[in-house]
Amino acid sequence: MPVLLALGAWGNRWLAPKGELLSIVDAASGARMEVVVVDAATLTPLRLGQVALAPGPGATKRLREQLRSPLLLAGNGARRASEAPGEGQG
């Protein structure tokens, strides 16, 4: 269910230029809700430019070689985390 809500929120943001097709609301109060994907351990929202991909325990040798350094997910495409502009700044 969370994945479907996240996809719906993404569609509302990027594919509905005239406004949301469906609003996500609290079932009891009717208050609008914002879908946010967070890290389960820290509850930190996952945002472009702050999340990278690294090989997992089941990764093939080839994938491990391709992802020797984490791949940063940025708004203008993916790039190596070591290439991130402003890395180490505020």
* Local confidence pLDDT in tens for the 90 residues of the chain: 888 999 999 899 889 999 999 999 999 999 999 999 999 999 999 988 899 999 999 999 999 999 999 999 887 666 666 665 554 444
CA 1 vs. chain centroid, Å, equals 16
Domain assignment of residue 40, yes or no: no
Residues 4 and 25 grouped into a single domain: yes
Domain of residue 69, residue span: 47-82
State the total domains in the chain: 2
Residues 24 and 54 grouped into a single domain: no
pTM for this prediction? 0.61
Domain assignment of residue 8, yes or no: yes
Which residues on adjacent β-strands are paired with residue 79?
72
Measured between alpha carbons, how far is 26 from 32 in angstroms, rounded to an integer? 6
Host H or E run for residue 11: helix 2-14
Q: Which residues contact 5 (CB under 8 A, 6 or more apart)?
A: 24, 35
Residues 8 and 28 grouped into a single domain: yes
